[in-house]
Copies of this chain bind each other. A is one copy, B any other.
Amino acid sequence: MPVLVVGSIGLDTVKTPAAEHADLLGGSASYAAVGASFFTGVNLVGVVGDDFPKPHVEFFDQRNIDLCGLQIVPGKTFRWSGEYHLDLNTRSTRSIELNVFEHFTPTLPPNYNRTQYVLLANIAPSLQSHVLDQMVGPRFIIADTMDLWINIAKDDLLGLLKRVDMLILNDGEARQLTGENSLIKAGKLILKMGPRYVAIKKGEHGCLLFGKDDFFTCGAFPLEEIHDPTGAGDTFAGGLAGYLASLDESEVTFQTLRQAVVYGTVLASYNVEAFSLERMRTLTPKEIETRYNSLKLHSTY
Residues of chain A touching chain B, judged by Cβ–Cβ distance below 8 Å, are: 86-87, 181-185, 188, 202, 204-206, 208, 215-220, 222-226, 255, 258-259, 261-262, 296, 298-301
Contact = CB atoms under 8 A, between A and B. Distances in A.
Contacts of A255: 301
Nearest to A263: B301
A224 B184 contact: yes
A218 B299 CA distance: 6
Contacts of A86: 181
A96 B182 CA distance: 30
A206 B216 contact: no
B222 A184 contact: yes
Tell me the number of copies of this protein.
2
Given A216-B298, A259-B301, A222 B208 contact: yes
Given A184-B223, A208-B219, 13 more contacts: A86-B181, A182-B204, A182-B225, A182-B226, A184-B222, A206-B219, A215-B222, A216-B298, A217-B219, A217-B222, A258-B301, A262-B301, A299-B299
A208 B204 CA distance: 11
Given A181-B86, A202-B205, A205-B205, A301 B222 contact: no
B87 A181 contact: yes
Nearest to A175: B87
29 contacts: A86-B181, A87-B181, A182-B204, A182-B224, A182-B226, A183-B204, A184-B222, A184-B223, A188-B224, A205-B205, A205-B206, A206-B217, A208-B222, A215-B222, A215-B298, A216-B298, A216-B299, A216-B301, A217-B220, A217-B222, A217-B298, A218-B299, A258-B300, A259-B301, A261-B301, A262-B301, A299-B299, A299-B300, A300-B300
Nearest to A207: B219
A184 B216 CA distance: 22
Kindly name the residue among A216, A226, A255 whose own CB sees the greatest number of chain B CB atoms within 10 A.
Answer: A216
A259 B299 CA distance: 11
A192 to B, nearest CB: 14
A224 B186 CA distance: 9
Given A86-B181, A204-B183, A205-B205, A219 B222 contact: no
Contact of A219 (B219, B261, B296): B219
Contacts of A262: 301
Contacts of A219: 206, 208, 217, 219
A248 B261 CA distance: 37
Contacts of A188: 224
A202 B188 CA distance: 22
Nearest to A183: B204
